[in-house]
Amino acid sequence: MASGFAQWGNDLYTGRRSYAIVAKRRGYFLVAIVLVVLSLGVIGIRMAGGGLNLGIEFRGGSEFTVSGVSDTSQQPALDAVAAVAPEEVPRVTSVGSSTVRIQTAELSNEQVEQVATELADAYGVSTGEVTSSYIGPTWGKDVSQKAVVGLVVFLLLVSLVMTVYFRNWRMALAAVIALFHDLVVTVGIYALIGWEITPATVIGLLTILAYSIYDTVVVFDKVRENTAGVLDQTRSTYAERANLAINQTLVRSINTSIVALLPVAGILFIGAFLLGAGTLRDIALALFVGMAVGAYSSVYLATPLEVALREREKPIRDHTAKVLALRAERVEAAGDDEDAALAAAGVGAGRQLQPGEHLGNKAQPRRRRPR
Protein backbone atom coordinates (compact mmCIF):
# COMPACT_ATOMS: atom_id res chain seq x y z
CA MET A 1 0.00 0.00 0.00
CA ALA A 2 2.75 2.46 0.98
CA SER A 3 4.84 1.63 -2.07
CA GLY A 4 1.80 2.02 -4.30
CA PHE A 5 1.06 5.45 -2.82
CA ALA A 6 4.70 6.46 -3.22
CA GLN A 7 4.68 5.34 -6.86
CA TRP A 8 1.45 7.24 -7.45
CA GLY A 9 3.02 10.37 -5.98
CA ASN A 10 6.16 9.91 -8.10
CA ASP A 11 4.05 9.51 -11.24
CA LEU A 12 2.20 12.72 -10.42
CA TYR A 13 5.44 14.61 -9.92
CA THR A 14 7.09 13.41 -13.14
CA GLY A 15 3.94 13.86 -15.23
CA ARG A 16 3.46 10.20 -16.14
CA ARG A 17 0.11 10.42 -14.38
CA SER A 18 -1.96 13.59 -14.34
CA TYR A 19 -5.38 14.84 -13.27
CA ALA A 20 -6.85 17.57 -15.45
CA ILE A 21 -7.85 19.85 -12.57
CA VAL A 22 -7.27 23.13 -14.40
CA ALA A 23 -9.10 21.97 -17.52
CA LYS A 24 -12.15 21.02 -15.45
CA ARG A 25 -12.07 24.22 -13.43
CA ARG A 26 -15.60 25.28 -14.39
CA GLY A 27 -17.00 22.33 -12.51
CA TYR A 28 -14.92 23.13 -9.42
CA PHE A 29 -15.90 26.80 -9.65
CA LEU A 30 -19.54 25.73 -9.76
CA VAL A 31 -19.08 23.60 -6.63
CA ALA A 32 -17.45 26.53 -4.82
CA ILE A 33 -20.20 28.94 -5.86
CA VAL A 34 -22.91 26.53 -4.73
CA LEU A 35 -21.22 26.07 -1.35
CA VAL A 36 -20.88 29.83 -0.85
CA VAL A 37 -24.48 30.51 -1.89
CA LEU A 38 -25.83 27.76 0.39
CA SER A 39 -23.70 29.02 3.27
CA LEU A 40 -24.87 32.60 2.78
CA GLY A 41 -28.44 31.29 2.60
CA VAL A 42 -28.09 29.49 5.94
CA ILE A 43 -26.52 32.57 7.52
CA GLY A 44 -29.32 34.74 6.10
CA ILE A 45 -32.00 32.43 7.48
CA ARG A 46 -30.33 32.49 10.90
CA MET A 47 -30.09 36.27 10.84
CA ALA A 48 -33.78 36.59 9.86
CA GLY A 49 -34.72 34.24 12.69
CA GLY A 50 -32.99 36.28 15.38
CA GLY A 51 -29.34 36.18 14.40
CA LEU A 52 -26.52 33.74 14.85
CA ASN A 53 -26.18 31.84 18.10
CA LEU A 54 -23.76 34.25 19.75
CA GLY A 55 -22.12 33.30 23.01
CA ILE A 56 -22.56 35.30 26.18
CA GLU A 57 -19.24 37.02 25.51
CA PHE A 58 -20.88 38.81 22.55
CA ARG A 59 -24.45 39.36 23.73
CA GLY A 60 -23.73 39.96 27.44
CA GLY A 61 -25.62 38.58 30.44
CA SER A 62 -25.26 36.55 33.64
CA GLU A 63 -23.62 33.13 33.81
CA PHE A 64 -23.84 30.48 36.53
CA THR A 65 -21.66 27.41 36.89
CA VAL A 66 -22.79 24.53 39.13
CA SER A 67 -19.99 22.08 39.98
CA GLY A 68 -20.02 18.64 41.58
CA VAL A 69 -23.53 17.67 40.42
CA SER A 70 -24.59 14.03 40.12
CA ASP A 71 -27.19 14.76 37.45
CA THR A 72 -26.41 17.13 34.56
CA SER A 73 -29.94 17.24 33.14
CA GLN A 74 -31.24 20.65 32.10
CA GLN A 75 -34.68 20.65 33.71
CA PRO A 76 -33.56 21.47 37.30
CA ALA A 77 -31.74 24.56 35.97
CA LEU A 78 -34.75 25.65 33.93
CA ASP A 79 -37.02 25.30 36.96
CA ALA A 80 -34.57 27.19 39.20
CA VAL A 81 -34.33 30.17 36.85
CA ALA A 82 -38.10 30.17 36.22
CA ALA A 83 -38.74 30.40 39.98
CA VAL A 84 -36.86 33.74 40.10
CA ALA A 85 -37.32 35.17 36.59
CA PRO A 86 -40.33 33.50 34.90
CA GLU A 87 -39.87 35.50 31.68
CA GLU A 88 -36.25 34.39 31.23
CA VAL A 89 -35.34 31.43 28.96
CA PRO A 90 -31.85 30.32 30.02
CA ARG A 91 -29.29 28.42 27.96
CA VAL A 92 -28.18 25.30 29.80
CA THR A 93 -25.20 23.19 28.75
CA SER A 94 -23.30 20.33 30.36
CA VAL A 95 -19.56 20.75 30.85
CA GLY A 96 -18.03 17.37 31.51
CA SER A 97 -19.86 14.82 33.64
CA SER A 98 -20.34 16.89 36.80
CA THR A 99 -20.72 20.54 35.80
CA VAL A 100 -23.66 22.52 34.43
CA ARG A 101 -23.42 26.00 32.89
CA ILE A 102 -26.44 28.31 32.83
CA GLN A 103 -26.54 31.56 30.85
CA THR A 104 -29.26 34.19 31.15
CA ALA A 105 -29.85 37.80 30.24
CA GLU A 106 -28.67 40.48 32.64
CA LEU A 107 -30.11 39.92 36.13
CA SER A 108 -30.09 42.19 39.14
CA ASN A 109 -27.82 41.43 42.09
CA GLU A 110 -30.80 40.20 44.11
CA GLN A 111 -31.93 37.92 41.31
CA VAL A 112 -28.40 36.53 40.90
CA GLU A 113 -28.30 35.55 44.57
CA GLN A 114 -31.76 33.98 44.40
CA VAL A 115 -30.93 32.00 41.24
CA ALA A 116 -27.70 30.74 42.80
CA THR A 117 -29.63 29.50 45.86
CA GLU A 118 -32.28 27.85 43.70
CA LEU A 119 -29.63 26.13 41.58
CA ALA A 120 -27.85 24.78 44.65
CA ASP A 121 -31.13 23.35 45.97
CA ALA A 122 -32.12 21.96 42.55
CA TYR A 123 -28.88 20.04 42.05
CA GLY A 124 -28.36 19.13 45.71
CA VAL A 125 -25.05 20.93 46.18
CA SER A 126 -23.85 23.64 48.53
CA THR A 127 -24.06 27.29 47.52
CA GLY A 128 -20.26 27.31 47.41
CA GLU A 129 -20.43 25.04 44.35
CA VAL A 130 -22.38 27.67 42.44
CA THR A 131 -20.38 30.53 40.91
CA SER A 132 -21.78 33.49 39.02
CA SER A 133 -20.36 36.15 36.73
CA TYR A 134 -21.60 39.01 34.60
CA ILE A 135 -20.36 40.00 31.15
CA GLY A 136 -21.39 43.34 29.71
CA PRO A 137 -22.43 43.66 26.03
CA THR A 138 -19.79 46.37 25.45
CA TRP A 139 -17.06 43.78 25.93
CA GLY A 140 -18.58 41.57 23.27
CA LYS A 141 -18.96 44.53 20.92
CA ASP A 142 -15.31 45.40 21.43
CA VAL A 143 -14.26 41.81 20.69
CA SER A 144 -16.38 41.76 17.51
CA GLN A 145 -14.87 45.01 16.26
CA LYS A 146 -11.35 43.81 16.92
CA ALA A 147 -12.08 40.51 15.14
CA VAL A 148 -13.29 42.37 12.04
CA VAL A 149 -10.29 44.70 12.13
CA GLY A 150 -7.95 41.73 12.50
CA LEU A 151 -9.58 39.99 9.52
CA VAL A 152 -9.33 43.06 7.28
CA VAL A 153 -5.71 43.70 8.24
CA PHE A 154 -4.87 40.03 7.64
CA LEU A 155 -6.38 40.06 4.14
CA LEU A 156 -4.62 43.32 3.24
CA LEU A 157 -1.27 42.00 4.43
CA VAL A 158 -1.79 38.72 2.58
CA SER A 159 -2.58 40.57 -0.65
CA LEU A 160 0.43 42.87 -0.28
CA VAL A 161 2.93 40.14 0.62
CA MET A 162 1.77 37.77 -2.12
CA THR A 163 1.83 40.52 -4.74
CA VAL A 164 5.38 41.46 -3.78
CA TYR A 165 6.61 37.87 -3.39
CA PHE A 166 5.12 36.45 -6.60
CA ARG A 167 5.19 39.78 -8.48
CA ASN A 168 1.73 38.85 -9.67
CA TRP A 169 -1.47 40.46 -8.38
CA ARG A 170 -3.55 37.68 -9.94
CA MET A 171 -2.18 35.15 -7.46
CA ALA A 172 -2.99 37.50 -4.60
CA LEU A 173 -6.54 38.00 -5.88
CA ALA A 174 -7.07 34.26 -6.37
CA ALA A 175 -5.77 33.56 -2.86
CA VAL A 176 -8.07 36.16 -1.27
CA ILE A 177 -11.09 34.77 -3.13
CA ALA A 178 -10.18 31.28 -1.90
CA LEU A 179 -9.90 32.64 1.66
CA PHE A 180 -13.34 34.25 1.33
CA HIS A 181 -14.71 30.89 0.18
CA ASP A 182 -13.18 29.11 3.18
CA LEU A 183 -14.45 31.68 5.66
CA VAL A 184 -18.03 31.82 4.35
CA VAL A 185 -18.41 28.04 4.10
CA THR A 186 -17.02 27.52 7.61
CA VAL A 187 -19.36 30.13 9.14
CA GLY A 188 -22.25 28.66 7.13
CA ILE A 189 -21.67 25.17 8.51
CA TYR A 190 -21.28 26.61 11.99
CA ALA A 191 -24.61 28.43 11.59
CA LEU A 192 -26.25 25.26 10.22
CA ILE A 193 -25.21 23.23 13.26
CA GLY A 194 -26.32 26.02 15.57
CA TRP A 195 -23.42 26.00 18.03
CA GLU A 196 -22.56 29.15 19.91
CA ILE A 197 -20.10 31.57 18.36
CA THR A 198 -17.58 32.36 21.06
CA PRO A 199 -14.16 34.07 21.10
CA ALA A 200 -12.71 30.57 20.63
CA THR A 201 -14.68 30.32 17.38
CA VAL A 202 -13.22 33.62 16.16
CA ILE A 203 -9.71 32.39 17.00
CA GLY A 204 -10.41 29.21 15.05
CA LEU A 205 -11.61 31.17 12.01
CA LEU A 206 -8.48 33.34 11.96
CA THR A 207 -6.33 30.22 12.36
CA ILE A 208 -7.85 28.44 9.36
CA LEU A 209 -7.20 31.50 7.20
CA ALA A 210 -3.51 31.25 8.03
CA TYR A 211 -3.53 27.50 7.30
CA SER A 212 -5.35 27.94 4.00
CA ILE A 213 -3.04 30.70 2.75
CA TYR A 214 0.01 28.63 3.65
CA ASP A 215 -1.23 25.69 1.58
CA THR A 216 -2.11 27.99 -1.32
CA VAL A 217 1.31 29.68 -1.29
CA VAL A 218 3.05 26.29 -1.57
CA VAL A 219 1.06 25.44 -4.70
CA PHE A 220 1.55 28.92 -6.18
CA ASP A 221 5.30 28.68 -5.60
CA LYS A 222 5.37 25.51 -7.72
CA VAL A 223 3.21 27.20 -10.36
CA ARG A 224 5.70 30.06 -10.56
CA GLU A 225 8.57 27.60 -10.90
CA ASN A 226 6.87 25.59 -13.66
CA THR A 227 5.65 28.57 -15.65
CA ALA A 228 8.93 30.47 -15.69
CA GLY A 229 9.76 31.08 -19.37
CA VAL A 230 6.58 29.39 -20.56
CA LEU A 231 6.27 31.79 -23.49
CA ASP A 232 9.70 30.77 -24.79
CA GLN A 233 8.65 27.20 -25.66
CA THR A 234 5.86 25.61 -27.70
CA ARG A 235 5.47 22.21 -26.08
CA SER A 236 2.96 23.06 -23.36
CA THR A 237 0.60 25.88 -22.42
CA TYR A 238 0.48 27.96 -19.25
CA ALA A 239 -2.57 26.02 -18.07
CA GLU A 240 -0.77 22.69 -18.56
CA ARG A 241 2.29 23.87 -16.64
CA ALA A 242 0.07 25.11 -13.81
CA ASN A 243 -1.85 21.84 -13.83
CA LEU A 244 1.43 19.96 -13.46
CA ALA A 245 2.22 22.11 -10.41
CA ILE A 246 -1.07 21.10 -8.78
CA ASN A 247 -0.38 17.43 -9.45
CA GLN A 248 3.16 17.73 -8.13
CA THR A 249 1.95 19.21 -4.83
CA LEU A 250 -1.17 17.04 -4.54
CA VAL A 251 0.46 14.36 -2.39
CA ARG A 252 1.90 17.00 -0.09
CA SER A 253 -1.53 18.66 0.25
CA ILE A 254 -3.14 15.32 1.12
CA ASN A 255 -0.47 14.42 3.66
CA THR A 256 -0.45 17.77 5.44
CA SER A 257 -4.25 17.93 5.50
CA ILE A 258 -4.57 14.47 7.05
CA VAL A 259 -1.83 15.18 9.60
CA ALA A 260 -3.50 18.47 10.55
CA LEU A 261 -7.06 17.10 10.66
CA LEU A 262 -6.35 14.03 12.81
CA PRO A 263 -5.48 15.87 16.06
CA VAL A 264 -8.25 18.42 15.47
CA ALA A 265 -10.71 15.55 14.94
CA GLY A 266 -9.49 14.05 18.22
CA ILE A 267 -10.17 17.33 20.02
CA LEU A 268 -13.58 17.69 18.36
CA PHE A 269 -14.97 14.18 18.78
CA ILE A 270 -13.22 13.07 21.97
CA GLY A 271 -12.61 16.27 23.89
CA ALA A 272 -15.90 17.91 22.96
CA PHE A 273 -18.47 15.13 22.66
CA LEU A 274 -17.11 12.66 25.22
CA LEU A 275 -15.59 15.04 27.77
CA GLY A 276 -18.00 17.89 27.15
CA ALA A 277 -15.36 20.60 26.91
CA GLY A 278 -17.30 23.50 25.42
CA THR A 279 -14.36 25.76 24.58
CA LEU A 280 -12.53 22.92 22.85
CA ARG A 281 -15.66 22.12 20.88
CA ASP A 282 -16.05 25.69 19.65
CA ILE A 283 -12.53 26.08 18.32
CA ALA A 284 -12.23 22.46 17.10
CA LEU A 285 -15.31 22.66 14.86
CA ALA A 286 -14.06 25.86 13.22
CA LEU A 287 -10.61 24.35 12.70
CA PHE A 288 -11.88 21.00 11.38
CA VAL A 289 -14.31 22.48 8.85
CA GLY A 290 -11.95 25.28 7.84
CA MET A 291 -8.95 23.01 7.28
CA ALA A 292 -10.99 20.58 5.19
CA VAL A 293 -12.47 23.38 3.07
CA GLY A 294 -9.09 25.10 2.83
CA ALA A 295 -7.46 21.91 1.53
CA TYR A 296 -10.10 21.79 -1.21
CA SER A 297 -9.80 25.47 -2.16
CA SER A 298 -5.98 25.48 -2.35
CA VAL A 299 -6.05 22.68 -4.94
CA TYR A 300 -9.32 23.03 -6.83
CA LEU A 301 -10.06 26.75 -6.57
CA ALA A 302 -7.02 29.00 -6.06
CA THR A 303 -4.73 27.81 -8.88
CA PRO A 304 -7.51 27.22 -11.48
CA LEU A 305 -8.77 30.71 -10.70
CA GLU A 306 -5.28 32.14 -11.16
CA VAL A 307 -5.02 30.37 -14.52
CA ALA A 308 -8.40 31.76 -15.57
CA LEU A 309 -7.17 35.26 -14.77
CA ARG A 310 -3.86 34.74 -16.61
CA GLU A 311 -5.59 33.39 -19.72
CA ARG A 312 -7.34 36.73 -20.08
CA GLU A 313 -3.96 38.23 -20.98
CA LYS A 314 -3.28 38.49 -24.72
CA PRO A 315 0.28 37.02 -24.62
CA ILE A 316 -0.98 33.94 -22.75
CA ARG A 317 -3.97 33.56 -25.09
CA ASP A 318 -1.79 33.85 -28.19
CA HIS A 319 0.76 31.41 -26.81
CA THR A 320 -1.93 28.85 -25.95
CA ALA A 321 -3.41 29.10 -29.44
CA LYS A 322 0.05 28.71 -30.99
CA VAL A 323 0.87 25.60 -28.92
CA LEU A 324 -2.44 23.94 -29.73
CA ALA A 325 -2.11 24.75 -33.44
CA LEU A 326 1.41 23.30 -33.64
CA ARG A 327 0.28 20.23 -31.73
CA ALA A 328 -2.60 19.69 -34.13
CA GLU A 329 -0.20 19.97 -37.07
CA ARG A 330 2.11 17.33 -35.57
CA VAL A 331 -0.77 14.97 -34.95
CA GLU A 332 -2.07 15.47 -38.49
CA ALA A 333 1.39 14.88 -39.94
CA ALA A 334 1.60 11.58 -38.05
CA GLY A 335 -1.24 10.25 -40.17
CA ASP A 336 -2.83 6.93 -39.32
CA ASP A 337 0.07 5.68 -37.19
CA GLU A 338 -1.55 5.61 -33.74
CA ASP A 339 1.69 5.54 -31.77
CA ALA A 340 3.22 8.30 -33.85
CA ALA A 341 0.13 10.44 -33.38
CA LEU A 342 0.26 9.94 -29.63
CA ALA A 343 3.95 10.77 -29.59
CA ALA A 344 3.33 13.88 -31.67
CA ALA A 345 0.68 14.92 -29.16
CA GLY A 346 3.18 14.32 -26.37
CA VAL A 347 1.54 11.24 -24.89
CA GLY A 348 2.91 7.74 -24.42
CA ALA A 349 1.15 4.82 -26.08
CA GLY A 350 -1.84 3.38 -24.32
CA ARG A 351 -2.92 6.68 -22.74
CA GLN A 352 -5.58 9.18 -23.71
CA LEU A 353 -4.64 12.84 -23.89
CA GLN A 354 -6.73 14.77 -21.38
CA PRO A 355 -7.55 18.45 -21.86
CA GLY A 356 -5.23 20.60 -19.83
CA GLU A 357 -2.94 17.68 -18.98
CA HIS A 358 0.79 18.33 -18.78
CA LEU A 359 2.46 16.94 -21.88
CA GLY A 360 6.08 16.79 -20.77
CA ASN A 361 8.04 13.82 -19.40
CA LYS A 362 5.78 11.24 -21.00
CA ALA A 363 6.75 7.67 -21.59
CA GLN A 364 8.15 6.96 -25.03
CA PRO A 365 5.70 5.34 -27.45
CA ARG A 366 6.14 1.61 -28.01
CA ARG A 367 7.41 0.49 -31.39
CA ARG A 368 5.27 -1.73 -33.56
CA ARG A 369 6.63 -5.13 -34.23
CA PRO A 370 6.87 -6.10 -37.89
CA ARG A 371 4.29 -8.69 -38.89
Side-by-side strand order, sheet with 91-94: 91-94, 99-104, 61-67, 130-135
Indicate whether 243 pLDDT > 90.
Answer: yes
Chain mean pLDDT for the chain: 81
Indicate whether 206 pLDDT > 70.
Answer: yes
Lowest mean pLDDT among 112-126, 176-190, 333-347: 333-347
Indicate whether 149 pLDDT > 90.
Answer: no
| Residues 116, 104: Cα–Cα separation, whole Å | 12
Three-state secondary structure readout of the chain: CHHHHHHHHHHHHHCCCCCCCCCCHHHHHHHHHHHHHHHHHHHHHHHHCCCCCECHHHHCEEEEEEECCCCCCCHHHHHHHHHHCCCCCCEEEECCCCEEEEEECCCCHHHHHHHHHHHHHHHCCCHHHEEEEEECHHHHHHHHHHHHHHHHHHHHHHHHHHHHHHCCHHHHHHHHHHHHHHHHHHHHHHHHHCCCECHHHHHHHHHHHHHHHHHHHHHHHHHHHHHCCHHHCCCCCHHHHHHHHHHHHHHHHHHHHHHHHHHHHHHHHHHHCCCCCHHHHHHHHHHHHHHHHHHHHHHHHHHHHHHHHHCCCHHHHHHHHHHHHHHHHHHHHHCCCHHHHHHHHCCCCCCCCCCCCCCCCCCCCCCCCCC
Question: How confident is the model over 245-289, as pLDDT tens digits?
Answer: 999 998 888 888 888 888 888 887 776 666 655 567 778 888 888
pLDDT for 336: 56
Question: How confident is the model over 302-360, as pLDDT tens digits?
Answer: 999 999 999 999 999 999 999 999 888 887 776 655 455 445 555 433 333 444 444 44
